[in-house]
Amino acid sequence: MTEQATGSTGGSATPLQYRQIGDIAVLIIDNPPVNALSLAVRTAIAEAIRKTDADPSVKAVVLIGSGKTFIAGADIREFNLQTQGPPAASAGRAAYDAVDASKKLCVAALHGTALGGGLEIALCCHYRVALPAVKVGLPEVLLGLIPGAGGTQRLPRLVGAELALDLITQGTHVEGSRAAALGIVDELIPGAGFDELLDGAVRFTRQALEGRRPLRRVRDTHGKIKHVNPEVFAGFRDKNAKKWSGLLAPWKIVDCIEAACNESWDVAYAFELACFLECKESPQRGALSHIFFAEREAAKIPGLAADTRAPPINSVAIVGAGTMGGGIAMAFANSGIPVRQLEMSEEALQRGSAIVSRNYETSVSRGSMSRAKADENLRRIRGTLSYEEIGSADLVIEAVFEDLGVKQDVFRKLDEVMKPGAILATNTSTIDIDKIASATTRPESVVGLHFFSPANVMKLLEVVRGAQSSPQTLTTSMGLAKRIGKVAVLAGNCDGFIGNRILATYAREAEFLLEEGATPWQVDAALKQFGLPMGMFLMRDMAGLDIGWRVRQRREATRPKHLRHSRVADLICEMGRFGQKTGAGYYKYDGREATPDPQIEQLIIDAAAKAGIERKPIADAQIVQRVLIAMVYEAAKILEEGFASRASDIDVTYVYGYGFPRHRGGPMYWAEQQGLAKIRDKALAYHEIHGDHWKPVALLAKAAAAGSWKAALGR
Ligand code: 3H9
């Protein structure tokens, strides 16, 4: 099979350098930034192997990546290119097959990452050597794919079917020492740089040429996949059925590994290809790939010079040791950054420290963190009662009671004690950042860092830009997110920022749906069926209904009275039902167990009658559509008003902060898949029926006409 090097998505002009060291040919992949296996790279590899096969002066081949990495996998952008005619039957396997069939000894030299197709091509080589810091893995599943070049066939041959099931269905990155222990890597080369790796690989290759190592292909190794109990696969499917509901790729991975154990190489390898092509053509793959790139795009701040200085953050202080403050402290400590936590009293400090210790205990007992690591992280968090003691921190995050006056007092104090250049951040989810910044003499250093609860777990970080936040403050904040394992989205300073502003709108529509004929449990079941982790009303019950009630009471005087308003939530609170913590809310509770409550259904029927609304049965599909279009509608307003930079930033916010099913790509991607004209028409129809909550949004009309958000926004 040959491939033509046409239609490449770019990269270096000569994506493969060819060198010869004595009788060893060195193929250096040079396709920055991550040496992705584009068509051009694959073609060059296949061509180079033909050359080495034919060249009698070459006894062996070393395959290595230039720069900081081996190969991060197939070039994901190429999967999005329009396939002309039927999908390529080989799916681009020619380079892999060429390496596998090489007449000369092949050694892969790995550093940085060897992921997806990168690891697969390394597994086609006879041997693999690696620097200890390497990470190897088959993360295709995270993109809605399966390994398509023998990964599901070769990895089980090295590590056994059971471990391969775990590694490939989770897309695990395996570190060097573990990869060596598992036999994925044959030898670790001490060192950290390209030159050390190449020297080590050449030395290893010479030893192999001298016959000190038997020549074998992974595909000819069968020991670990013989006699695998069929129960293993059935049990694995059962165990994960709930987690994989609605997904395609993980099921296919299990099928492929099962085939590897039961079928001949040729049959199972062909089966893998068929499964790969099926996944590649699935809508899930498109959605997951969208989120991959959206996440990376979100890190870039439009209009900010790429060389904006971002001072490093080596120490952090947190004001407040409540649940949120504790979670934030853990997020930093877990990334190796020391934290000082400030409280007003010894008791408050003790309480906070007990919560953090308990959280670490839970991680240890669940096996997600070792005891040593938990102890080390815990030691990084130290309490203090003195503002003076936190003054030298590079960043301080305020996480105190959600009240403007209280927060302004804290910021006045921080302004006095923090060193010049420190970033002053607030974790507020509702308060105007500029009003908080106005309590300081340095509003350019003030920013919102809105973590989501539990802050040590949730991936989203909304970085909220104040009117005067400086480019350095923003760049440092966005960069910091990546360092602590979060995904940052830049939000403007509007009520609720991006995430909670959208939430308020679709929660309102969910509430209206109750008056129109749905029940809380029907709405919840419909949204769960769509893929949200939890229904709207269960979530509200869990969070507690009283906080929202108090906010509504405060805002009652200024509520625009011409807009439709539901009393259902207020009526529930007036009964003293504040959700799970009081044993009753929208549902009634036995501990955490929620059951539908006829009393609430009656309350809704009465409220609707009082508001003059005729209740009618509503189909689940209509519920989902109304809630999702409400999300998209509010998001379009946010974009139009400039409080978010791109539609894809909204998707990232919803996938990482609100559990929007990743394989559906986020609400804005979902809307594009539905057709933006259809969404616009629905929103217009809702305007007709439900009034000015649905006033037409110009950007939605523009995007519907242009066919995409990007075309309408120009980014
Ligand atoms: C596959 O291999 C299928 C095969 O089985 C098929 C066989 C037939 N392609 O993340 P970063 C870009 S599927 C194209 O910010 P980091 C990325 O968009 C693939 N582009 O860096 C960004 O661009 P920009 C399986 C890619 O250091 C830049 O590189 N492999 C690819 O934080 C830097 O990326 C994977 O799923 C790619 N494969 O993390 C691995 N990868 O600068 C996917 C990255 O314009 N990649 N880019 O924004 C990753 O997980 C991370 O990028 C990695 C580096 C850990 C490698």
Q: Is residue 258 flagged as an active site residue? A: no
* Spatial CA neighbour of 572 closest among 528, 543, 603: 603
Query: Can you give the pLDDT at residue 88?
Result: 54
Asked if 154 and 133 touch (Cβ cutoff 8 Å), the reply is: no
Indicate the pTM of the whole model.
Answer: 0.93
Q: Which residues line ligand 1 (CB under 6 A)?
A: 33-34, 36, 72-77, 91-93, 113, 115-117, 120, 139-140, 143, 145, 147-149, 151, 293, 296
- At residue 6 the predicted structure's pLDDT band, cuts being 50, 70 and 90, is very low
What count of Cα atoms within 13 Å lies in the side-chain half-sphere of residue 103? 11
How many angstroms separate the alpha carbon of residue 289 from the centre of ligand 1? Answer: 10
Question: Could you tell me the distance, in angstroms and rounded to a whole number, from the CA of residue 156 to the centre of ligand 1?
Answer: 24
What's the CA-to-centroid distance between 454 and ligand 1, angstroms?
Answer: 28
Q: How far is the CA of 34 from the centre of ligand 1 (A)?
A: 7
Nearest to 421 by CA among 389, 445, 397: 445
* Known active-site residue 593: no
| Atom number in ligand 1 closest to CA 113 | 56
Q: What distance in Å separates the CA atoms of residue 589 and residue 595, rounded to the nearest whole number?
A: 6
Query: Per-residue pLDDT averaged across 385-409, rounded?
Result: 96
**Spatial contact of 460 and 653, defined as CB atoms under 8 Å apart:** yes
Of 22-26, 333-337, 438-442, 451-455, least confident by mean pLDDT is: 451-455
With H, G, I as helix, E, B as strand and everything else as coil, classify residue 430. Answer: coil
**Nearest CA owner, ligand 1 atom 41:** 72
> Structural domains in the chain?
3-275 (3.90.226.10), 316-493 (3.40.50.720), 500-713 (1.10.1040.50)
d(CA 72, ligand 1 centre) in Å: 5
Tell me how long the chain is.
Answer: 715
Residue 306 pLDDT class (50, 70, 90 cuts): confident
603-613: per-residue pLDDT in tens? 999 999 999 99
Residue 528 pLDDT grade (very low, low, confident, very high; cuts 50, 70, 90): very high
Active-site residue (options: 120, 272, 343, 462): 120
State the burial class of residue 333 (Cβ atoms within 10 Å of its Cβ: 0-12, 13-18, 19+). Answer: buried
Ligand 1 binding pocket mutation candidate from 42, 76, 652 (most atoms within 8 A of CB): 76
Long-range contacts of 592-600 (CB under 8 A, 24+ apart): 594/538, 594/541, 596/519, 596/520, 596/521, 600/520, 600/572
Please tell me the least confidently modeled range out of 47-61, 252-266, 542-556: 542-556
CB 158 within 8 A of CB 223: no
Say if CB 273 and CB 80 are below 8 A apart: no
Q: pLDDT above 70 covers what percent of the chain?
A: 97
Alpha carbon separation from 267 to 15, 168, 273 (Å, rounded):
33, 20, 10
Among the listed residues 140, 343, 398, 462, the single catalytic one is: 140
Give the model confidence (pLDDT) of 508-522 as tens digits.
999 999 999 999 999
Q: Which atom of ligand 1 is nearest to the CA of 143?
A: 36
CA–CA separation, 564 vs 551, rounded Å? 18
